[in-house]
Structures are given as C-alpha cells and as structure tokens.
Amino acid sequence: MGNSKLKGKHLTEIGFAEGKAIGLALNATQKHYKSKSRAYKLAMLQNVLQHPEKYRDDDAFWQVATELISAREEVQEQLEYSLKATLPHYAVYGREHIDEGAIHQMNLAMKLPVAVAGALMPDAHHGYGLPIGGVLATKNAVIPYAVGVDIGCRMCLSIFDMSPEVLAKNTERYKEVLLSNTRFGNKDVFEKKMDHPILQHEAFAQIPFVKTLQNKAAAQIGTSGGGNHFAEFGEVQICDANNEFNLPTGRYLALLTHSGSRGLGVSIAQFYSQLAKDTCKLPEGARHLSWLDMATENGQEYWQAMNLAGDYASACHHQIHERVARQLGTPYVARVENHHNFAWKEQDANHNEVIVHRKGATPAGAGVLGIIPGSMTAAGFIVRGKGNRQSLQSAAHGAGRTMSRTKAKQSIEPKWLKNNLKEHKVTLLGGGLDEAPMAYKNIDQVMSCQTELVEVIGTFLPKIVRMEGRV
C-alpha cells in the first residue's frame, strides 16, 4: 500500500498543472483504483491528461476530463490569436529598392492584433520575423524577433582633432592600432580584459536565466561580432557649420565601429523568443512574431534583459574606442552613437504609450543624431533626425543588402573586391566576399529616399577597415 498512494507532486511530475484537476484526479483514483499500483494509476492519469476528450463519459475520470478540457479552452481563448483580416496602411520609403520578401514580412507584422503602426525603411530586406529595416509599434507587447537576435547592435563614431592625412602617411601604424585593439568573432577575446560596471548589472542577479550568461558576457567584453561588424579608421567631413559638436567645418580623423551584444544578446533573444512562441499561439507563418505581454513577468523580464544587452553592447564599443584613443595618445573631441535591433517605449501622435521596435532601423526623432554607414568603400552619413511621424521617427540603419551572404560568396569574384578596394584606396584587414560592396545597395540612393526623415551634417569615408578573418 505504501508504494501505491498518490500525492499531488506525483501528478505535477507527469505534467498536471497546479489547480483543481489534481484534487479531482487524486479523489478519482482513490475511489475507483485504490488497490492498483502507483505506476498503474500514473499511467492511466497521464493518458487522461493527454486525451481528456476520450474520458468525458468515463465513470471514474469524467470530472477530471471536464476540468482539463475547460482549462485548455481557457488558455486557448487567452493565447491563440488570429491576424487582422485587412492590411492597415503603413509608410514605405524607397519601395523600388525593397525586395518582395521584406514587403510580405512587413504586411504580416502589420496584421498582428497588437500592431498599431509601422513603417519600412529604404534599406529594408528579408529577415526573420520583422524584416531588416522594419519599424513596428505595438500596444502593451514586445516581440523578441522584432527586436532581433543581435540586441542593441549599434554604431559608434569617435572624431579626433587630427588630420585624416595621417592614415595615408602612416598606414602600417594605424593598421596595427586596429589589429591590437580589436577582437572579432566568438572565440577571439582579450587576454587582459577591461572591467566595466555593466558586468555587475542588477539583471544578472535578478533573472535566473540571465545569471547563467554573466561569465560569457565577462569573457567577451570589449569585443566585436563577425559578419558585417567592423572597426575602421576613416575621414570625417563636417559640412554643417551649426553642428552639435561645435566643430569647425572640415576634415577629421575618425574611428567608426559596428557591433552588438555578442553572445549575451543572442542567448537572451533565443530564450525569450521561444517563451513567446510557447505562450502566444499565432498562425504558422507568423510564429516568429509571437509576443510577450508587457503586463506579464516574462514580458518584464525580457524588457530588463533587452536593456541590459543594449547597455552591454554600448560598453563593448566604449572599451574599443578607449583602447584606440589611449594608443593614439589623444582623446576624441566628438562622438555619435546610435543603435538598432531594439524596442523603445514612446508616445504616438495621440500621446498613448506604444512599444516601437526598430529592427535594423535608426531612431530619428527631432534633433537625434545618428550615423548611417554605407559599405567598406562607400561613404557613411552623420545625420540629424527630423522626427517624422509617418516613419515612426525612424530612418535606415545602413545601405541594406541586395544579396544574401551565400549568393554574394557564389557570385562575387575575389578580383572584383580587390579592384574595388584599390579604386577607393581602402585597406581591408580580414573580411570576405559576403561583405563586398557589391552585396549592398547604393547608399546614395538609400539616402535620397529619406530626405523627409533625416538631414546630413557630415560624412564618413572608410580608409582602413578591420573585420573578422585572417589578415
């Protein structure tokens, strides 16, 4: 008898949720199957749990089945959603430069029941969930895949009071500065790391899953990712005499970096994306757009973890720039930093709070500064936002791809890249064909499509580019 008695913990171990069904199940087995072994009872109850509809008329378990079915229907009523029947209007900038895959993904996102507004930037292209270059405002909901995997990926530009002529006069020295003060990819980290307060962020102590990532974050601090991430010296041309830096118009040496939140951000994105899919049931084609309700513990946890990842990405950039400035022996005189792959709490035109996701899109509120890069041989632009409401106060985050990485590797010949670099007098350290300028849209065309969104106050022309890969 001792081995046959059931307790509530036995039922939770086989999948029963805490609640009324457990008490009903214990009573039913005690009344009708008292002499049976515990294993027999558990096997029977597991079958009832998995197929309650088969036990609606069962003498022993009809009450258990009714409760399980009721609980299941209640959850489905709360969490299963349908898409809007009609497509709401949203602004598209540079439609002629955007592939159909990105349009389809944006249309799908706009049909979410939590979506209240959207916009598509001229650098947009197909991605996962929300397209790259997609901006989506939602009500009380955050969508991990609309933020993106590389949470808080950003640009950081430091301007030095030095002539850019030093790059041509002493190329070897500046190559060495980049090589010794940057690390790229998942395995190449600094042996002598710089400490940073971000590693003691409260989220590491408060969120159990995030706590498991603390050592990874500490190991990768100050490093950059692979793919399209880079660190490059170049020439800044300040063309707006009324610039926020109080710098005279003219040419300056500058360091531009592009990277995100490394393994920390990827892990957070994957974990909470799965939580969203598990709790928010959408039609198959829209599963990547599953959201977390901001009123739930999961939603609040993700929000805190996302902000941690964004601050961590910023810390990584600052350490790179600090290392470089130290070796150059001169501080920067101006800095521009902006990020994408993030969500912000903002107010819409009616002063209602919305969650604005910018996946591969730059914040462009009135007076907000940003840097929009081109490619390794094309100029980037220092911009000032105009606060356009139609674009949800957003702009492009770069040139945007015209080729997938696979297609670029298959179709671009090494000599084309070599000749392009030579023509533009750019030195490349690392990198690959998947990041060749030919794989990207024309940045001048992209910028011409968003004159309503930003104004240009300066340019950045790459000269020495460091990316992942052997030198």
pLDDT in tens, 120-173: 999 999 988 899 999 999 999 999 999 999 999 999 999 999 999 999 999 999
pLDDT (mean) for 3-32? 87
Residue where a domain stops, chosen among 30, 47, 79? 79
Q: What confidence score (pLDDT) does residue 79 get? A: 54
pLDDT in tens, 312-344: 999 999 999 999 999 999 999 999 999 999 999
Residue where a domain stops, chosen among 51, 79, 107? 79
Q: What confidence score (pLDDT) does residue 18 get? A: 81
Residue 70: pLDDT band with limits 50, 70, 90:
confident
pLDDT in tens, 214-269: 999 999 999 999 999 999 999 999 999 999 999 999 999 999 999 999 999 999 99
Residue 72 inside a domain? The answer is yes
pLDDT of residue 420 exceeding 80, the answer is yes
Residues 27 and 166 in one domain: no
Q: What confidence score (pLDDT) does residue 1 get? A: 44
Residues 333 and 447 in one domain: yes
Domain that holds residue 448: 144-466
Residues 182 and 47 in one domain: no
Residues 198 and 287 in one domain: yes
Residue 446 inside a domain? The answer is yes
Residue 372 inside a domain? The answer is yes
Helix (H, G, I), strand (E, B), or coil: what is residue 365?
A: coil
Mean pLDDT, the chain, whole residue set: 93
Residue 86 inside a domain? The answer is no
From the list 196, 258, 317, 397, the catalytic residue is 397
In the chain, the percentage of residues whose pLDDT exceeds 90 is: 81
Residues 323 and 396 in one domain: yes
pLDDT (mean) for 428-444? 95
Q: What confidence score (pLDDT) does residue 78 get? A: 46
Q: What confidence score (pLDDT) does residue 389 get? A: 96
Residue 236 inside a domain? The answer is yes
C-alpha–C-alpha distance, residues 101 and 106, integer Å? 9
How many angstroms from the chain centroid is the CA of residue 131?
Answer: 11
Residues 71 and 148 in one domain: no
Judge whether 292 and 275 are in contact, CB under 8 Å: yes
Judge whether 257 and 155 are in contact, CB under 8 Å: yes
Q: What confidence score (pLDDT) does residue 69 get? A: 82
Residue 122 inside a domain? The answer is no
pLDDT of residue 275 exceeding 90, the answer is yes
pLDDT of residue 74 exceeding 70, the answer is no
pLDDT (mean) for 168-195? 94
pLDDT in tens, 85-119: 999 999 999 999 999 999 999 999 999 999 999 99
Residues 27 and 154 in one domain: no
Residues 72 and 174 in one domain: no
pLDDT in tens, 348-396: 888 899 999 999 999 999 999 999 999 999 999 999 999 999 999 999 9
Enter the pTM of the model.
Answer: 0.82
- E runs forming strands in 65-182: 91-92, 115-125, 132-138, 141-142, 154-160
C-alpha–C-alpha distance, residues 395 and 388, integer Å? 9
Helix (H, G, I), strand (E, B), or coil: what is residue 288?
A: helix
Residue where a domain stops, chosen among 79, 106, 121? 79
Residues 156 and 52 in one domain: no
pLDDT of residue 77 exceeding 60, the answer is no
pLDDT in tens, 30-53: 899 988 888 889 989 988 998 888
Residue 438 inside a domain? The answer is yes
* Catalytic residue list contains 397: yes
All residues at 6 or more sequence positions from 114 whose CB lies less than 8 Å from its CB, including other chains: 138, 139, 140, 141, 291
pLDDT (mean) for 3-24? 85
C-alpha–C-alpha distance, residues 82 and 111, integer Å? 9
What total number of domains does the chain contain? 2
Residues 360 and 440 in one domain: yes
Please state, in angstroms and as integers, the Cα–Cα distance from residue 116 to each residue in 56, 111, 293, 343, following that order: 42, 9, 15, 14
Q: What confidence score (pLDDT) does residue 176 get? A: 98
C-alpha–C-alpha distance, residues 68 and 59, integer Å? 16
The CATH number covering residue 259 comes to 3.90.1860.10
Residue 92 inside a domain? The answer is no
Residues 393 and 318 in one domain: yes
CA angle 67, 69, 72 (to 5 degrees): 110
